[in-house]
Amino acid sequence: GAGVSQTPSNKVTEKGKYVELRCDPISGHTALYWYRQSLGQGPEFLIYFQGTGAADDSGLPNDRFFAVRPEGSVSTLKIQRTERGDSAVYLCASSHPPGSGVYNEQFFGPGTRLTVL
Amino acid sequence: DQQVKQNSPSLSVQEGRISILNCDYTNSMFDYFLWYKKYPAEGPTFLISISSIKDKNEDGRFTVFLNKSAKHLSLHIVPSQPGDSAVYFCAASRNTGNQFYFGTGTSLTVIP
């Protein structure tokens, strides 16, 4: 079956602009995660959805970052007033719900490389 | 505060030999550990995991060892193959939680 897909694969924007990054999870996975990976670092947790609700948004760095998942499937990460420091690869992952009795391996998409000029 | 650490940024191994990648963690509440493999321009791919109730898990050429008292885990690949060349990330979580905490990765090069 299809894996996690993310669009666009690359996004170049100017400082101060607004961007949206999209994630399509694996069908049947109710848990969805966003991570940010900066150069030379491992993925850093941003937010976790269980179904439609953001169960944990403690990783969002500030209020310029927001994510939605209105129908419990596709999710959009939104970044307002982008800054050069936002440049990174944004990864989306999906899984079965944590603690659901199966190993909750997270399956990652290829990421969106965001460059803020 | 880096709760999961991979202190070796790179490792080179001859084809056919054993590769050993190391990972340390600080949070004693972690009870589930995973290794991910990442090729350039792709997302991380799950490789192998281990629950804290075990000290070893094996899957083909890949074995993960967990030493809870030392808060240390390692990934052994034997025999190493050129296709194993990638960046390997260690990750940890509390099984009832949702965040995965990743290390900074180790770039493995297997020399033919």
In tens, the pLDDT along A13-72 reads 999 999 999 999 999 899 999 999 998 899 999 999 988 888 889 999 999 999 999 998
CA angle B19, A36, B101 (to 5 degrees): 55
Is B105 in contact with A42 (Cβ distance < 8 A)? yes
Q: How far apart are CA B73 and CA B24, in angstroms?
A: 6
Buried b (16+ CB within 10 A) or exposed e, B36-69: bbbeeeebbebbbbbebeeeeeeeeebbbbbeee
| Count of C-beta atoms within a 10 Å radius of residue B72 | 14
Is A98 in contact with B98 (Cβ distance < 8 A)? yes
pLDDT score of B96: 61
**Distance of residue B83 Cα from the nearest chain A Cα, in angstroms:** 19
**Distance of residue A23 Cα from the nearest chain B Cα, in angstroms:** 13
Residue contacts between A and B (CB atoms, under 8 Å) = 62
pLDDT (tens digit, 9 = 90+) per residue, B20-77? 999 999 999 999 999 999 998 899 999 999 999 999 999 999 999 999 999 999 999 9
Confidence of residue A98 (pLDDT cuts 50, 70, 90): low
Chain A residue nearest residue B9, CA to CA? A40
Contact by Cβ (8 Å): B106, B9:
yes
**Distance of residue A52 Cα from the nearest chain B Cα, in angstroms:** 15
Residue of B107 and A104 predicted with greater confidence: B107
Contact by Cβ (8 Å): A68, A76:
yes
